[in-house]
Structure 1
């Protein structure tokens, strides 16, 4: 991962969740970071952690921004270029989940999910692309296993992540002639606060539901956020220099599971 050293990296949603652990990992590898988040206190806290991980005060920039707003998207890119003079990596991490049956999904919920998970990524990327062409940089998008696996209550969220999957492939084709790679990571169920609305922070109940009662993850456990960050770092690094339009699953084999998996006898 030495190729990440000094690479100027924008992480949207850099103040929490996957954004935080990805920032810490990139800090370990010596990247220069731009953490965009509407929760500026969270972004600044992550920046302090990155400094403890080895970055100098001049290596981390925090930007208060709600990327569903055009001016805020522009502010992230403009401040990045003003400080560092270039952009090497864009990590489209920011996103939300809202859950309801499709037949009961209100328009404001649909708009909130699509605006952040799809529209904001598209237009954030448009602003970044001229700078990425100049550096022959790359983009990593955060999608999800539900981009292809239908789940009750997750219809709109799954639709948004399916859009990200098509966005990744199409953009990869369009950017190939410029040497700009575009890839995505598809996590399965990860042990984060994303599921608090369902389980109230009870990680034991979440673990049981997703591995024991409904064994969708053949490796028998949930992923950690750090394992998702590892996949992001790989795709952003020169180790993936001939990889574009691709998706890495960080789901313990969940995407391989068929309807009969739960009933299969386990080998000893």
Structure 2
């Protein structure tokens, strides 16, 4: 199967680390012209340099906070001013947290998550949808299995991803007559720095957590960034030309389980 994005303009948000970095690198290998967005200038520059080495195509690197209107507007304007078109929008930028309804002391955590994970995606898509209509392009939103599975401790993040999943379905229905496809890719347990950032656990503890999590995966392996990137690229390609409004799960068959003792413990807290 030949995947080729030569002369296609692809915008990847949250491209400075993790799944975003893996996705950017794979699109670069396939010849795409890249617009990369991130908040960490040093990391973003390093990723852009690695992408340029793939095919010699220099990406546009945009340092912006997509949780702000200014950051979203800057991203949309600079991308279109530079490339004059857009073929693929990958909404990957997100923040997470560990919170429950009983441990949330104020609304800041909730607002921070929804500001980037939902409002930022809505706003950026709103601004770039007309350009995608012109090119008959497509959108890939990066969600998570916690958008459909129930997990204690993932309250605002799980709600945000559930909102993103439905956003995909709604916008896919609206844009389908215009020739624009909109889909979601939902990673399962994936080896990135995301969990370490929101929990602050050590590398040793993180590896132990991954090992424990892998016992709930029938295929026996946690995902890595390239697993998600390959699905994003496939969904964005012409090989998926009639796929829209779909949530594609990449998780090795991950099974959420909860024991009765866990339930008893939580009930008494």
Is the TM value for this pair above 0.5? Answer: yes
For 1:56 and 1:168, how far apart are their aligned partners in 2? 30
For 1:198 and 1:221, how far apart are their aligned partners in 2? 23
Q: CA RMSD in A?
A: 1.6
SS of the residue corresponding to residue 55 of structure 2 reads coil
CA contact (8 A) 1:95 1:116 kept: yes
Partner of 2:267: none
Q: Unaligned regions of 5+ residues in structure 1, if any? A: 261-268
Partner of 1:116: 116
User: For the structure 1 residues 39 and 117, does the alpha-carbon distance in structure 2 shift closer, same or farther, using more than 3 Å as the test?
Assistant: same
Q: CA deviation at 1:227?
A: 0.2
CA contact (8 A) 2:31 2:57 kept: no
For 1:96 and 1:189, how far apart are their aligned partners in 2? 16
SS of the residue corresponding to residue 102 of structure 1 reads coil
Cα deviation code 1:204-246 (max 9, x no counterpart): 30232202xxx32111110111100011101111111010001
Partner of 1:42: 43
Structure-to-structure mapping, 1:143-162, within 5 angstroms = 143-162=143-162
Q: Which runs of 4+ in 1 moved over 4 A?
A: 257-260
CA contact (8 A) 1:195 1:201 kept: no
For 2:63 and 2:127, how far apart are their aligned partners in 1? 17
SS of the residue corresponding to residue 67 of structure 2 reads coil
SS of the residue corresponding to residue 4 of structure 1 reads coil
Partner of 2:207: 204
How many residues in Structure 1 have an aligned counterpart in Structure 2?
254
Partner of 1:23: 24
Q: CA deviation at 1:56?
A: 2.5
- 1:141 corresponds to 2:144: no
Partner of 2:217: 217
SS of the residue corresponding to residue 190 of structure 2 reads coil
For 1:52 and 1:251, how far apart are their aligned partners in 2? 30
For 1:230 and 1:51, how far apart are their aligned partners in 2? 19
Partner of 1:56: 57
For 1:84 and 1:34, how far apart are their aligned partners in 2? 9
Q: CA deviation at 1:259?
A: 7.1
CA contact (8 A) 1:43 1:62 kept: yes
Cα deviation code 1:115-160 (max 9, x no counterpart): 1110100001000101000000000001100011111111111000
CA contact (8 A) 2:5 2:27 kept: yes
Q: Unaligned regions of 5+ residues in structure 2, if any? A: 260-269
SS of the residue corresponding to residue 68 of structure 1 reads coil
Partner of 2:187: 187
SS of the residue corresponding to residue 102 of structure 2 reads helix
For 2:257 and 2:65, how far apart are their aligned partners in 1? 39
Query: TM-score if structure 1 supplies the norm length?
Result: 0.91
